[in-house]
């Protein structure tokens, strides 16, 4: 008895010492880590998983399309309740179609963190933003002590973080029950709670630990641990617009030869009418690469001398003047209240072919062709003036825009290695610079797939867009965008509108394609029109 | 302006100080326009086909870029048709304080809107009224003194 008792005491002591060691290690401040100005580990950079967790969190043998991998689950296996273990097997059997990723739906948390796609972290005092290459989704982690909204489920959950020593702890709540944990069909319910712990082991290794609790599905909380590695051989995160690529491949989103960039401009089929030489000449932005720290105050206008550039951080909504339903003044029954946003012209200066293109885009059967009806990203500048807010994060080296309609822009300040002509993006390739208090952003390499608004104003791959964000009052900026697109327009034109910052505003998630019921309806309208056209001898 | 006229008519039917206090806020926030946010409204719905139907809520789908309310409507022959009405995005409703628990299936409502061009039992609405004339999804939610 005594012997057993002593053993127990000894065991308690050992556990106690171990716990003390662990907790002091967590709180301990590691040397040799990159740090932000406020002393936190600087998590910024491009990261990616190297192991096989994306396929299956548990030990798994290889199958076609699924390389073998070891378990990252503490204890080896996921503690499912019996009914849930059966459902997991069912998910596995049907994974080719049942996996939400088969439709490019948002992967949820933690799954997005260990998919085989890079992500880039940006960090300010109040936020840590994670921007994923995959489908251009992001997570905005609040580290300002705020609380999640009640009663709203999200695909990506709600993330509120805090620092414990050198570890970032993130409570991820408000999950829906539609995401999976990996390709093998491991799953959860809407009772899911995820507690993440991000700990930098060294400058290039991030220890990712997630505790998963879900009383509806599991018998107890369980933990995964996955190293993330700095992607040193990748200078930037590009776009992988999974859904747009899927619909193009399926033939559900059809090319527009006059506005889309085509890899081989000399290709005989179709004929790109305007020669590439007519593109605007490259504009050189000369600016020293030196990083500029944003002002410490919250005001958009710089403070009394100490802040060198305005602090743009925050939640914004454009006072858009109905730009998403037309740039000219308009007041039609279904597009009311447009005050007109063109600055220097009464109407858009279209080339003749584009006048006709815009007219047909307004026919009911072409409502289907608007990329935003498919829930693809809005592009530049449209993402600013769609009726959804956005959040700006500003670091010394970047301005990042997170759009509520799930897309992001990373705008490097000053130095920038432009993309080659052949790499075209929905959101383009942007570079910014400070011109006094004004942020000037130039964007090129657009793919020409976006529309400018719902009434079908046209923009092409040849466009160069110069945006100016000019602070005017404490929480207001004047936004201007000058579009030069010789394929579509006879001259440059400019739109302008105020952007209003709401210090209390927070982004909600727009799960657009995940819940899009309009598209099938618009397709029926288009198909009926095509059938009528075919019946009457034309198309 | 249409917005103000409709809001005024609605508020006359209400009573209570809370309602009056939220009125100003509601005036700022209610967008009493067709719920078109990510696709061409006129491509999908027909301004020349206004409709007004009374039925029982079978489901409210809180989603973006549009929420949907489904109601069972009995036609003249007694046949029940489930109509889908497109509404504002869930995020617009959330930001006004509305939550899914505020609206129950089985509630009888009258919905006004514009019918689909396709001829299917689909329409767009921004006016969902209870039998006493109060409006769902407009202005402040019940927890803040609005309609339940």
DSSP assignment of A411-478 equals EEBS---PPPTT--BSS-EEEEEEETTEEEEEEE-B-S---SSTT-----TT-EEEEEEEEEETTEEE
| Chain A residue closest in CA terms to B100 | A151
Test B38 with A508 for CB contact under 8 angstroms. Answer: no
Predicted confidence band at A336 (pLDDT cuts at 50, 70, 90)? low
| Chain A residue closest in CA terms to B120 | A521
Q: ∠B136-A333-A330 over CA atoms, to 5°?
A: 125
Window from A61-65, A320-324, A502-506, B32-36 with minimum mean pLDDT: B32-36
**Structure tokens given for A177:** 């029950």
Say what the pLDDT of residue A292 is: 54
pLDDT digits (tens, 9 = 90+) for A341-386: 999 999 999 999 999 999 999 998 999 999 999 999 999 999 999 9
> Which residues in chain A have Cβ-Cβ distances shorter than 8 Å to B117?
364, 525
Residue A411 has pLDDT above 50, yes or no: yes
- At residue B45, the 3 state secondary structure works out as strand
Residue A88 has pLDDT above 90, yes or no: yes
Q: Is A117 exposed, middle or buried (0-12, 13-18, 19+ CB in 10 A)?
A: middle
Averaged pLDDT, A215-220: 98
Cα distances (angstroms) measured from residue A368 to each of A103, A358, A363, A454: 19, 14, 10, 11
Residue A537 has pLDDT above 90, yes or no: no
Test B65 with A515 for CB contact under 8 angstroms. Answer: yes
The highest-confidence range among A283-287, A303-307, B98-102, by mean pLDDT, is: B98-102
Q: CB contact, 8 Å: A450 with chain B?
A: no
> Which residues in chain B have Cβ-Cβ distances shorter than 8 Å to A454?
36, 39-41
Of A337, A456, A521, the CB nearest to B118: A521
**Structure tokens given for A523:** 């397709």
DSSP secondary structure letter of residue A26: H
Q: How far is B135 from chain A (nearest CA, A)?
A: 21
Q: How long is chain B?
A: 148
Q: How far is B99 from chain A (nearest CA, A)?
A: 7
The candidate with the shortest Cα–Cα distance to A238, out of A425, A411, A450, is: A425
| Chain B residue closest in CA terms to A528 | B118
In this prediction the ipTM stands at 0.81
Q: How far is A271 from chain B (nearest CA, A)?
A: 29
**Alpha-carbon distance A451 to A376, whole Å?**
11
Predicted confidence band at A419 (pLDDT cuts at 50, 70, 90)? very high
Say what the pLDDT of residue A447 is: 97
**Structure tokens given for A471:** 């602070």
| Chain B residue closest in CA terms to A509 | B91
Test B42 with A372 for CB contact under 8 angstroms. Answer: no
Say what the pLDDT of residue A281 is: 44
Name the average pLDDT for chain A. Answer: 89
Percent of chain A residues topping a pLDDT of 90 = 79
Averaged pLDDT, A379-398: 96
Q: What is the mean pLDDT of each run of 10 residues along chain B (148 residues)?
A: 29 32 34 55 88 96 92 94 93 90 92 90 91 82 49
Averaged pLDDT, A501-508: 96
Say what the pLDDT of residue B136 is: 87
The candidate with the shortest Cα–Cα distance to B54, out of B12, B107, B109, B2, is: B109
Total-model pTM:
0.86
Test B44 with A367 for CB contact under 8 angstroms. Answer: yes
Averaged pLDDT, A436-441: 97
**Alpha-carbon distance A497 to A469, whole Å?**
10
Averaged pLDDT, A280-294: 45
Say what the pLDDT of residue B144 is: 53
Pick the residue with more confidence: A224 or A300? A224
CB A520 within 8 A of CB A252: no
Predicted confidence band at A264 (pLDDT cuts at 50, 70, 90)? low
Calculate the CA dihedral of residues A417, A418, A422, A427 and round it to 10 degrees: 120
Window from A109-123, A180-194, B29-43, B89-103 with minimum mean pLDDT: B29-43
Averaged pLDDT, A407-418: 93
Averaged pLDDT, A401-415: 95
Residues contacting A198, CB < 8 A, separation 6+: A43, A167, A168, A170, A206, A207, A208
Say what the pLDDT of residue A449 is: 98
Averaged pLDDT, A450-478: 97
Q: Are strands A464-473 and A438-444 parallel, antiparallel or unpaired?
A: antiparallel
**Alpha-carbon distance A483 to A479, whole Å?**
13
C-alpha of A95 from chain center: 25
Window from A28-42, A261-275, A460-474 with minimum mean pLDDT: A261-275
Residue A160 has pLDDT above 60, yes or no: yes
CB A140 within 8 A of CB A146: no
Cα distances (angstroms) measured from residue A209 to each of A31, A206, A225, B89: 21, 10, 4, 35
Q: ∠A75-A77-A79 over CA atoms, to 5°?
A: 100
| Chain B residue closest in CA terms to A376 | B38
Q: Is B29 exposed, middle or buried (0-12, 13-18, 19+ CB in 10 A)?
A: middle
The number of C-alpha atoms within 13 Å of A35 and in the hemisphere containing its C-beta is 12
């Amino acid at each position: 008895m005594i012997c057993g008792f002593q053993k127990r005491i000894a065991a308690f002591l050992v556990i106690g010492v171990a716990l003390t060691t662990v907790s002091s290690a967590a709180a301990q401040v590691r040397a040799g880590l990159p740090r932000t100005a406020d002393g936190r580990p600087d998590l910024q950079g491009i990261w990616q998983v190297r192991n096989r967790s994306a396929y299956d969190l548990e030990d798994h043998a290889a199958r076609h399309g699924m390389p073998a991998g070891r378990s990252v689950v503490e204890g080896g296996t996921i503690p499912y309740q019996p009914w849930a273990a059966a459902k997991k097997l069912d998910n596995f059997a049907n994974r080719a179609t049942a996996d939400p990723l088969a439709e490019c739906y948002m992967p949820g948390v933690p799954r997005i963190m260990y998919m085989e796609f890079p992500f880039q972290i940006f960090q300010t005092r109040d936020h840590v933003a994670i921007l994923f290459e995959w489908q251009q989704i992001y997570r905005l982690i609040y580290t300002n002590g705020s609380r999640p909204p009640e009663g709203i489920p999200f695909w990506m959950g709600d993330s509120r973080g805090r620092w414990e020593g050198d570890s970032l702890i993130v409570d991820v709540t408000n999950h829906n029950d539609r995401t999976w944990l990996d390709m093998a069909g491991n799953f959860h319910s809407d009772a899911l709670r995820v507690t993440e712990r991000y700990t930098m082991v060294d400058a290039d290794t991030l220890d990712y630990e997630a505790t998963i609790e879900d009383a509806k599905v599991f018998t107890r909380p369980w933990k995964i641990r996955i190293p993330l590695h700095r992607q040193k051989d990748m200078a930037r995160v590009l776009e992988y617009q999974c859904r747009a690529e899927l619909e193009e491949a399926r033939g559900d989103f059809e090319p527009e030869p006059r506005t889309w960039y085509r890899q081989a401009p000399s290709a005989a089929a179709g004929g790109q009418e305007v020669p590439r030489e007519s593109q605007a000449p490259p504009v050189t932005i000369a600016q020293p690469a030196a990083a500029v720290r944003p002002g410490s105050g919250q005001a958009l206008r710089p403070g009394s001398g100490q802040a060198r550039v305005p602090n743009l951080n925050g939640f914004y909504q454009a006072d858009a003047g109905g730009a998403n339903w037309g740039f000219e003044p308009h007041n039609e029954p279904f597009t009311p209240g447009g005050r007109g946003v063109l600055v220097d012209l009464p109407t858009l200066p279209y080339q003749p072919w584009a006048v006709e293109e815009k007219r047909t885009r307004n026919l009911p059967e072409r409502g289907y062709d608007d990329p935003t009806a498919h829930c693809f990203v809005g592009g530049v500048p449209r993402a600013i003036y769609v009726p959804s807010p956005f959040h700006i994060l500003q670091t010394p080296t970047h301005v990042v825009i997170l759009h509520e309609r799930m897309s992001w822009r990373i705008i490097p300040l000053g130095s920038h290695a432009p993309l080659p002509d052949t790499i075209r993006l929905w959101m383009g390739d942007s570079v910014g610079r400070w011109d006094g208090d004004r942020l000037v952003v130039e964007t090129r390499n657009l793919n020409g797939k976006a529309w400018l608004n719902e009434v079908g104003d046209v923009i092409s791959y040849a466009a160069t867009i110069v945006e100016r964000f000019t602070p005017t009052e404490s929480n207001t900026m004047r936004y201007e965008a000058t579009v030069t697109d010789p394929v579509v327009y006879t001259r440059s034109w400019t739109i302008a509108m105020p952007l209003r910052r709401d210090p209390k505003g927070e982004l909600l998630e727009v799960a657009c394609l995940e819940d899009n019921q309009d598209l099938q309806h618009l397709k029926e309208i288009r198909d009926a029109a095509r059938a009528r056209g075919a019946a009457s001898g034309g198309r | 302006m249409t917005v103000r006229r409709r809001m005024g008519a609605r508020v006359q039917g209400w009573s209570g100080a809370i309602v009056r206090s939220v009125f100003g806020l509601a005036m700022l926030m209610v967008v009493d326009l067709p719920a078109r946010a990510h696709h061409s409204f006129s491509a999908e719905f027909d301004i020349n086909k206004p409709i007004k139907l009374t039925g029982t809520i079978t489901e409210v789908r809180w989603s973006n870029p549009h929420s949907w309310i489904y109601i069972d409507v009995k036609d003249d022959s007694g046949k029940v048709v489930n109509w889908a009405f497109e509404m504002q995005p869930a995020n617009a409703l959330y930001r006004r304080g509305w939550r899914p628990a505020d609206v129950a299936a089985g509630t009888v409502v009258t919905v006004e809107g514009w019918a689909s061009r396709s001829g299917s039992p689909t329409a767009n609405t921004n006016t969902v009224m209870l039998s006493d004339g109060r409006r769902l999804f407009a202005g402040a939610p019940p927890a803040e003194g609005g309609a339940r």
